[in-house]
Structure 1
Amino acid sequence: MSQYGHSTTGAEIMRRFSSYADGKTILVTGPSPSTLGSETAITLAKHSHPAHLLLLGRSASKLEPVVESIRTVNSTVKVTIIPCELSSLASVRSAAVLISSTLAAANAKLDIIINNAGIMAVSPYRATGDGFESQFAVNHLSHFLLTNLLYADLAQGVRVVNLTSNGHEIGPIRWDDYNFGEGREYDPWLAYGQSKSANILFSKAISRKMAKKQAKSIAVHPGMVLGTSLCANSNVSKELLDQGIELATQNAGGELPPASLKNLEQGCSTTLVAALDPDMEDGAYLTDCNITEPKPWAKDDENVFKLWELSERLVGEKFEF
């Protein structure tokens, strides 16, 4: 993939891999307007012919402009909105039931899941109704539960893409205190780093746990993207952003490459490589469309299984396939 890099656009990726999206049923979480999720879905529709795009988001009305954009670029693609509040495990379970019934009605299976939705550096501390720190809940637990609940609806050779971040370099999972002392010891960036480390570990677990489906999963750092609503939704001030960069620099041994900004067209490219490249290495971590190495704590085999067991305990359900 060395011919692709930081400035590669989604359209460039689709010129090479569009046939691998043709006829596919694809689920994208967090595709609100002006996000990487919506850009990914629109780019897929514009440059290929997926059979069905399922868009999972908090507000059905908010997703309608994205549906219209998809229909504008490709009127042949079926699009279904799946309402879901990812901070609620009950809502995730309801969404999984709706997805299953939608797929059954179409006699289809999911070929690709793009777990794109996320929040960043939430401040002050916020716990979900289920009692979990919000970033760990939304960025990891919700996608862990959703993906596993949909196991029976997955096609053979399903591809699962988990959006992570180089923010995982800020810190590992706090195994004995993932809730930061119920907020008493909360740091928004350490919580973000924990959730992003979890995304990478989850990708490494999927093919092992879902071997019967021949599943393959890749974790993606899309880059620092201009035009996305992630920072705005998370109320990230310049001061807070600087604090996050300082933490990441410390964890990188004082040497952190400058993060060049991307636009949305460039930001979705690495996701599309992960979703469509037939030769992509299972469990890989991608940056700028190429495989790179995450921090040791985000690839350790012991941590892979440790996170799976913790996640099962927190969502209250064991998954053995």
Structure 2
Amino acid sequence: MPAPYDANTSADELISDYVKIIEGKTILTTGVSPSTLGGAFVQFIAKANPGVLILATRNPAKLQQTADELSSAYPNVKVRTLKIDLASLKSVREAAKEVNSWDDVPSIDVLVNNAGIMAVDYQLSPEGFESQLATNHLGPFLFTNLIMKKILASKSPRVVVVSSDGHRLNPIRFDDYNFEEGKSYNRWFAYGQSKTANLLFALSLAQKLGLKSGLQAYSLHPGVIWSTHLGDHVNWDLQLDELRNADRTFGNPESWKQYDGKPIERGIATHIYAAFDPSLKANNGAYLIDTHVADPLVDTVKPWATSSFEAERLWRLSEKLVGEEFPY
């Protein structure tokens, strides 16, 4: 029987259960600045003596701070750093090329696509894509696929894509992903589109490479964690009403609910569960919440984010937008 994990499960409980699984693993995590979910994730799993922690983020100073803190606290854990700006496909290609050149890292056991942005003002990426779609999906899509050879070299390859129950706020706008070049932009609809993309990407990876290559892939909602910096730029006096209005558009019950927050040590529990739980193999491609496989009858799970048809449509659109095909 699987352990009875739930919304109250802490990171330390899972580390204790998975210590033998984590030991010796090579784990690449994006978005690892201090006081973030990614930063907390690597700090907790370092306790289990992984082989290599590859830390990737766009800010060199914050990247070095996290690396220094880990090396000081866990001197036996090898730490590598990687500068990557997921909003820029050029930066993504350069970072992937660097990873692929590391002869001393022949395989990557777990890739955690954790980095992301939320509800920003309308802006375009360097390649001309709405910034939340670019940063939260197109960058991770390209990066994951460009280093896939190293991931599949693992004996137990796994990819984790950090999404959100915010996927409820919009399906993929296949014919207008840039919101009429900003004319009809809604920051919450754009966030929802990018988070839907995260679920569909994990589903595609599982379906394309699960049986063929043994890859496991999962998406997840970590919960609402107020102590991270994800929403620092948001004026909640204004944006909370806009968020509720976006939910009302889809008839979502969140329109009327209070948002219950989690402390960060429980917020990253689902990250750890997705990255290492051995019982998940039977649910390859699943969306996870509160350290369990999401139940559409109880949890917020939209059909547009769990459709194999939509997943394949998004895969083909993503290939077109990044200018490269990955025909697994």
Instruction: Please report the TM-score for the alignment, with normalisation by the length of structure 2.
Output: 0.92
Aligned to 1:22: 23
| Residue number among 142, 148, 164 corresponding to 2:145 in the alignment | 148
The aligned residue for residue 286 of structure 1 is 288
Judged with a 3 Å threshold, the aligned counterparts in structure 2 of structure 1 residues 107 and 171 are, in CA distance, closer, same or farther, namely closer
Contact 2:136 2:198 in 1 (8 A): yes
Q: Deviations along 1:135-158, whole A, 9 cap, x unmatched? A: 000000000000000111112431
State the shift of 1:252 in Å. 4.5
Is residue 112 of structure 1 aligned with residue 110 of structure 2?
yes
Worse-superposed segment, 37-46 or 247-256: 247-256
Distance 1:252 1:273 in 2: 31
Q: Which letter maps to 1:289?
A: T
Q: Aligned partners of 1:26 and 1:113: how far apart in 2?
A: 6
The equivalences for 1:253-268 within 5 A come to: 253-254=252-253, 257-268=257-268
Q: What amino acid does structure 2 have at the position aligned with 1:288?
A: D
Q: Is the 8 A contact 2:207 2:285 kept in 1?
A: no
Q: Secondary structure at the match of 2:309?
A: helix
Residues matched between the structures, number: 316
Structure 1 14/246 Cα, relative in aligned 2: closer, same or farther at 3 Å? farther
Match of 1:240 in 2: 239
Single out whichever of 249-258 and 67-76 deviates more from structure 2. 249-258
Judge conservation of contact 1:223–1:259 (CA < 8 Å) in 2: no
What is the 5 A alignment of 1:97-136?
Answer: 97-102=97-102, 104=103, 106-123=104-121, 125-136=122-133
Q: Which amino acid aligns with 1:159?
A: R
Q: Can you list the C-alpha shifts for 1:144-173, whole angstroms capped at 9, x where unaligned?
A: 000000111112431100000010011111
Q: Which consecutive residues of structure 2, in runs of 5 or more, have no partner in the other structure?
A: none
Question: Contact 1:156 / 1:215 at 8 angstroms: preserved in 2?
Answer: no
Matched residue of 2:96: which SS?
helix
Aligned partner of 1:308 in structure 2 is: 315
Q: CA deviation at 1:184?
A: 0.8
Aligned mates of 1:62, 1:132 — CA distance in 2: 26
RMSD: 1.6
CA distance in 1, matches of 2:288, 2:248: 20
- SS of match in other structure, 2:231: helix
Q: Is this contact kept in 1: 2:247–2:254, CA < 8 A? A: no
Q: Which residue of 1 aligns with 2:250?
A: 251
CA 1:229–1:134: 2 relative to 1, 3 Å: same
Match of 2:193 in 1: 194
1:258 to partner: Cα distance? 3.6
1:208 Cα offset (Å): 2.2
Q: 1:238 to 1:298 in 2, by over 3 A?
A: same
Structure 2 counterpart of 1:41? 42
Letter in 1 for 2:240: L
Report the 3-state secondary structure (helix = DSSP H, G, I; strand = E; otherwise coil) of the residue aligned with 1:224.
coil
Alignment deviations for residues 1-60 of structure 1 (CA, whole Å, 9 cap, x no partner) = 5722222221111111121111111000000110000000000002x0111011110122
Change (3 A) 1:253 1:166: closer
Identity of aligned residues (%): 40
- In 1, Cα distance between the equivalents of 2:70 and 2:186? 38
